[in-house]
Chain A
Amino acid sequence: MNRLPSWIKQHLAALRAVLVLTAVLGVIYPLVTTGVAQALFNGKANGSLGETGASSLIGQSFSDADGNPVAKYFQSRPSAASYDMLATAASNLGPEDVIDTPDRASLLTQVCTRSAAIGQLEGVSGARPYCTPDGVGAVLKVFPTRAVSVNQACPAQPFVTTYEGVPVECGKPGEDYAAGRTVPIRGGATAVVPPDAVTASASGLDPHISAAYAALQAPRVARERGLPVERVNTLIEQYTTGRSLGFMGEPAVNVLELNTALDKG
């Protein structure tokens, strides 16, 4: 050993260090932690699974095979992962992603479309700022002599007829509007549908909705199930977690627990 050059000795020591530390930190530590965790917090260590095998921490999609919402259930938030635990994801779309492309709808249009659909499902107004009445992003590309409502493909009726004196046209798919100035139009609408209902979550598995979104859905669920709204509201309250210690996070309604309780009657 002693006759080896020092740089080889150095690397042999390094190799041994990797192996020894791996045994301690990569094998013994996680195994002991698992043992103790399983003994002390069995249910939680195994994923907080309920009677059906589903986890109360993991959100589900309450839609049918075609992707339409099942009306007797409270609906979860939109998810960029479709609640698939093997492909968790967020949308990663930016705050100024407002122009649709042939490949995909812009984030703004996604928000507007969801808002309109939820408005229709719940029988309330789905209108929002920066959204057209037909549920896409209200965005103009402005040129010196004309303006184009880029997200409204012809023959759609543009949401405004003129902008600062120039006429507004509908968008012609395939035409390049990149040279125009992008102007999102706020409009006068006030949103009824809450923010969490029209945005995709971070985890793609968000098990919660806001109290406001639950309240919006309560009349529809009560009607579908022939229950008094008060009963549904009581259940909402029961499955709402407040802020941890009164100041951490936000109040949240667990959708799976709420729907499971409704199914039990």
Chain B
Amino acid sequence: MGWLFILSLIVALALVYKPLGDYMHRVYTGTKHNAVERVTYRLLGVQSGTEQRWGAYARSLLAFSIISIFFVYVLQRVQDKLWLSLGFAPVPDHIAWNTAISFVTNTNWQAYSGENTMGHLTQMVALAVQNFVSAAVGMAVAIALVRGFARRNSDTIGNFWVDLVRGSLRILLPIAFVGALVLVAGGVVQNFVGPHDITTLTGNVQHVTGGPVASQEVIKELGTNGGGFYNTNSAHPYENPTAWTNWFEIFLILLIPIAITRTFGKMVGQLRQGYAILAVMGVIAIASIVLTNVFELAGNATVPQAVGAAMEGKDVRFGVANSATFAAATTLTSTGAVNSFHDSYTPFGGMMTLFNMMLGEVAPGGVGAGLYGMLILAVITVFVAGLMVGRTPEYLGKKIGAREIKLASMYFLVTPVLVLVGTAVAMGNEAGLAAMLNSGPHGFSEILYAFTSASNNNGSAFGGVTVNTPWYDVALGMCMVLGRFLPIIFVLALAGSLARQTPVPESAGTLPTHRPQFVGLVVGVTIVLVALTFLPALALGPIAEGLF
């Protein structure tokens, strides 16, 4: 049954691949602005007709993100003075800072527990808005990079404000609206009720919570954000009530990251290049999903063997297999929503979720972020292949020279540095070590997972780790900010330098980048790079735990 679940997801994604990919292509390449957008641009005071060089594009993006962080921070700090606060106090400063960064960077790491910290207004006006716009920012960067490949002799790579507004209003908003209603039909709540008491059958009191959950839940998955309205995220019956809403949420997670490969193919004028990138993502994703299922169903560890199944931290309606599929999907993308608790997974099942993030979340990755991450890996691959045969590497007609490969390499190095240095620092001081819930290799895995998740902007956790301390809020906040914006700057710089080039005509010596050979090469380069970087760390954590 678990296999049918995976297969049906693949079929559904295949069905929407073409229409959605083509639609996104029209959105980002169209020259007309609709009435709502024209009003928006006037309110923003930006010239929608003028394109930006990569530097201006990056500065607009950073300005928008900084103001967003500030805005989300302030709203949390004054929530008690606004409406719908449910009587909650202002969010403590270090948690508010961490949360603001977390939502603006599309990480949605949660150092707080939603149902007892955030009022309804904070959830919808501060957090859910960032679910939309941080996703739109990621897509904008990906599209800017694709323009770099597609354009010739161009100084500009698009207009950030236009890409931001179109991504939010034309792509995310309509899908979110329909999706939210589908979720409500499944039982996800959508109201403005605060906690109220009811009497249980045995005469105890239960505080029933409410909130505008569906409207936030849908964009949490669609925008690969992952920040739950409630603490237990997509395991909570009000966020994910049935086995089919679970299917639908996984579908939403994978929807845009997959379909955008077609948008890419169309924009560079060769659909087959998009299929090749999709194939790389597909090979890695399917292998990872299958392995996670196999490890969880086998249940090889002492407690799952004693129990008879890896049911700790999983709900009955989802079961082991569908929980494992969700876990793989949420870490293969930058989502980080969870419907089961990875901390209690079998050693190798838990390792898969870690490994998925360590891949850089490129298969298929976060909205936008997955595509630009994968294109960077493709650039590195043509460079490696070029070295083998002694030719100047090129990709999609653009020469990968010294500047390009430097930018790609720096992009790739950012997250490993943050993950490994961050983990090492945490393991080396009291405040870092105090966060562990579990002992031994598993405790190490909790810390490693936290830094991997923050630096890759995933947001899921080995949840036993106690991270609502000032030390962790600052450390992980730094990882999130650097892990998001340094790579984005490198990508935009790369886009700028590619756009300026005159394409070189294909010759007999050009490496074809749409054939299975190239797909295999990219998969190989990805796995080798990641394995070389992280295997020692994994050996100390999940591998040591699994092979005791």
Give A residues with C-beta under 8 Å from B.
1, 7, 9-18, 20-22, 24-27, 29-30, 32-34, 36-38, 40-41, 44-49, 52-55, 57-65, 70, 73, 77, 81, 83-99, 101, 107-108, 111-112, 128-131, 137, 182, 184, 186, 191, 194-196, 198-210, 241, 243-245, 247-250, 252, 256, 259-260, 263
Contact = CB atoms under 8 A, between A and B. Distances in A.
Contacts of B313: 90-92, 199-202
B510 interface: no
B198 A52 contact: yes
A259 B212 contact: no
Pairs A-B, 10 closest by C-beta atoms = A249-B243, A95-B301, A92-B464, A250-B319, A202-B235, A244-B244, A130-B306, A94-B442, A248-B243, A53-B198
Contacts of A201: 235, 313-316
Contacts of A93: 303, 312, 343-344, 437-438, 464
Given A93-B343, A95-B303, 10 more contacts: A29-B176, A58-B208, A85-B207, A86-B209, A91-B312, A92-B341, A94-B344, A195-B307, A199-B313, A202-B314
B392 interface: no
Nearest to A187: B306
Contacts of A247: 1, 4-5, 8
B531 interface: no
25 contacts: A13-B45, A16-B43, A17-B64, A20-B44, A21-B132, A27-B125, A53-B198, A55-B237, A58-B206, A60-B202, A61-B202, A84-B206, A85-B208, A86-B195, A86-B207, A88-B236, A89-B113, A93-B344, A95-B345, A111-B312, A205-B236, A207-B237, A208-B315, A248-B247, A259-B201
A11 B344 CA distance: 45
B302 A108 contact: yes
A37 B173 CA distance: 16
Contacts of A9: 45
Interface in B344-358: 344-347, 350
B301 A14 contact: no
B442 A53 contact: no
A113 B165 CA distance: 56
A22 B345 CA distance: 38
B463 interface: yes
Interface in B498-548: 545, 548
Contact of B303 (A58, A108, A252): A108
A191 B306 CA distance: 8
A89 B231 contact: yes
Contacts of B199: 52-53
Contacts of B343: 90, 92-94
B177 interface: yes
B397 interface: no
B351 to A, nearest CB: 11
Nearest to A8: B63
B228 to A, nearest CB: 9
Nearest to B196: A53
A32 B214 CA distance: 12
A37 B5 contact: no
A25 to B, nearest CB: 5
Given A58-B238, A90-B341, A108-B303, A208 B64 contact: no
Contacts of B212: 30, 33-34
Contact of B243 (A57, A83, A98, A244): A244
Contact of A96 (B165, B181, B545): B545
Given A58-B238, A73-B202, A204-B232, A111 B307 contact: yes
A247 B40 CA distance: 45
B294 interface: no
A247 B246 CA distance: 12
B375 interface: no
B142 interface: no
B235 A199 contact: no
Interface stretch (B27-35, B184-192, B263-271): B184-192
A53 B176 CA distance: 30
Contacts of A191: 306-308
B374 interface: no
Given A21-B133, A93-B343, A87 B316 contact: no
Given A14-B66, A205-B232, A250-B316, A196 B311 contact: yes
A96 B204 contact: no
A57 B187 contact: yes
B43 A34 contact: no
A41 B242 CA distance: 16
B60 interface: yes
Contacts of B168: 21, 24-25
Given A40-B181, A97-B438, A247-B1, A10 B303 contact: no
A10 B185 CA distance: 42
B469 interface: no
A195 B63 contact: no
Interface string B307-346: 1111111111111001100000000000000111101111
Contact of B237 (A11, A22, A205): A205
Interface string B187-225: 111111101001111111011111010111000000000
B190 A91 contact: no
Nearest to B462: A92
A131 B306 contact: yes
B99 to A, nearest CB: 16
Contacts of A30: 124, 128, 212, 215-216
A25 B128 contact: yes
B410 interface: no
A229 B289 CA distance: 42
